[in-house]
Amino acid sequence: MGDKTLTCLSCGQLNRVPEAKLRAGAKCGKCSKALVPADAVEVSPAVLEKASKNDDLPLVVDFWAPWCGPCKMMAPEYSKAAKKLSGRARLVKVNTQKHQSTGGRYRIKGIPTMVAFERGKERKRQAGAMRAGQIEGWVTGR
């Protein structure tokens, strides 16, 4: 138990949240958006950078692009997994077409690629589309 540091996925503000409130609609102190959104949300490179370094909750990023067929197929599955994992990990997305340098910065070679960050470090990554159950297992597995 204790407080958790969470970066607001909308405005990038760092928030301290009591663990018990993670699943009870905790809101950002600055912009009032939900700190634990019900679905996978798109984030900016700046927010990704901050959240991957500061969050106490695991952060999972789906690097995708609108032109990528497998990415589109995976989107609803990723959404489902985000809902299932709510409160345990935050699942976000980065559009690598819109933010081209971000893919390079995180050494993304093909999409979709998921990268899991925990306590300021990359814990693992996985290329290729997966189903919701597989994503959930990948995120929670060691």
Active site residues: 68, 71
Considering only 9-17, 19-27, 44-52, 70-78, which stretch makes contact with Zn ion by CB under 5 A? 9-17
**Could you tell me the smallest distance in angstroms from the CB atom of residue 124 to Zn ion?**
28
CA-based torsion, 108, 111, 117, 122: positive or negative: negative
**Could you tell me the smallest distance in angstroms from the CB atom of residue 34 to Zn ion?**
9
| Helical packing angle, 132-140 and 69-84, nearest 10° | 60
Specify the residue, 33 or 131, whose C-beta has the smaller distance to Zn ion.
33
Restricted to residues 19-48, the positions that interact with Zn ion (CB under 5 A) are 28, 30-31
| Nearest of 39, 62, 75, 74 to residue 116 by alpha carbon | 62
DSSP H helical ranges for 44-131: 45-54, 69-84, 100-105
Q: How many residues bind Zn ion (CB under 5 A)?
A: 7
Instruction: Name which position in 10, 95, 96, 102 contacts Zn ion (CB under 5 A).
Output: 10
b/e sequence 75-100, b meaning 16+ C-beta within 10 Å: bebbbbbbebbbeebbbbbbbbeebe
Considering only 13-21, 72-80, 109-117, 119-127, which stretch makes contact with Zn ion by CB under 5 A? 13-21
Kindly list the residues in this chain that would bind Zn ion in the complex (CB under 5 A).
8, 10-11, 13, 28, 30-31
